[in-house]
Every structure is written in C-alpha cells, then in structure tokens.
Structure 1
Amino acid sequence: MAVRQSGIEDYLDVDGLIDLPPGSTLLSNFERNIAEFGSTAAYRYLDFTRDDDGVAIELSWDELNTRMRAIGARLQQVTAPGIGWRSWRRRAWIM
C-alpha cells in the first residue's frame, strides 16, 4: 500500500483559506518537510542575474533549510529581541 504524502490541500479549509491543524506552526511544518523530503525540490525560481533569459535554480528542502538558518543567524546579528520590522528598517538606514 502506498503511503499518502501530505499536500497543500491538507492546510486549506473548504473556502481555500489557510487552516493549520491545532499546534501546527510554520516552523513545525518546515521541519517536517526537511525530515521527510530533504533532498527533493522545495523551491524553484529563475535567476536573471546569470542570463537575460533566466537560469532555473532549484533548492532542495535541505538547501532551503541551510539558507533559512543563515538568514536567521544574520537577523540575530543585526537586531535585538523586541525590535519590530519598522524599527529595524530605520536602524538599517542609519548603520
């Protein structure tokens, strides 16, 4: 018997609005996908800085995890707990 993989439909209500299960967070779903689908494609985009026609770039869940952790680490370096986006943006202009 084939195991059913979860899809985006599992997180939508009958009206198509996002409806996360109780106790579920964006981070918990992200971590679950990394564990389940590590080397499979998670994100694809066209990079127009490499070629005028765009170059398709594909990131696996593991690669996306690495990039997200790097972004999080950088945000911790340049912000402090409790600083909202608007405060950070003003601070960034001053730096």
Structure 2
Amino acid sequence: MRVRLLPEAGDGEGELMSATMLTVARTDALFVSGLSTGSCPQRGEIDAAIRAMVRCYHGSRGCAGEVAACYGEDPEYAVRRIVWARRLVTAEFGGQR
C-alpha cells in the first residue's frame, strides 16, 4: 500500500487544495474584519476588507491566529461569525483564485 502525503503533479488535487486554502484564508481575514455580520457587503467591500486584514495581521497566519483567539474567548460568537464569513467568501469568490 502506498501512502501519498502530497498531491502528484497533474492529478488536479493541488489546484483543489490551493483553492480550499485560499477560501480558508479569505474567510479568516473577513472574520477578523470590522464588517458587521448583519451587513450585506458587495464584492468590492469584501475584497477590500480581506486585503486590509491580511496587511494588518501580517498575512493569513496572523488572521488565523486572531480567529483562534476569538474561539477561545467567545466560541458561540466565533461560530456565528465564521459561518457568516464563509458564506460571503463562497458566494463572492467560489473556488476562484
């Protein structure tokens, strides 16, 4: 039995993995933004918020760290906010890069 830890070139999994990681990074950045979960921002607003948060937190890892901290402080709020952020990111960007 052969175990693959990384996708092989040309099998399409690398692109899927990259798109998934980008969706997670965008979701985390939107999560830490100042946009309200009650708002219905347009794509330009969402994109600007994501870019600003990635700069503010020095990359996607910084955003992910803030998301983790929020889960530790207020898990119920964090769940509602991450669902909101993921819904917006998926609706606006889908699997786009």
If the TM-score is normalised by the length of the shorter chain, which range does it land in? under 0.3
The higher-RCO structure (CA 8 Å, 6+ apart) is 2
Which structure is larger by alpha-carbon Rg, 1 or 2?
1
Which structure dedicates a bigger proportion of its chain to helix?
Answer: 2
Which structure dedicates a bigger proportion of its chain to strand?
Answer: 1
Give the TM-score, by structure 2 length.
Answer: 0.26
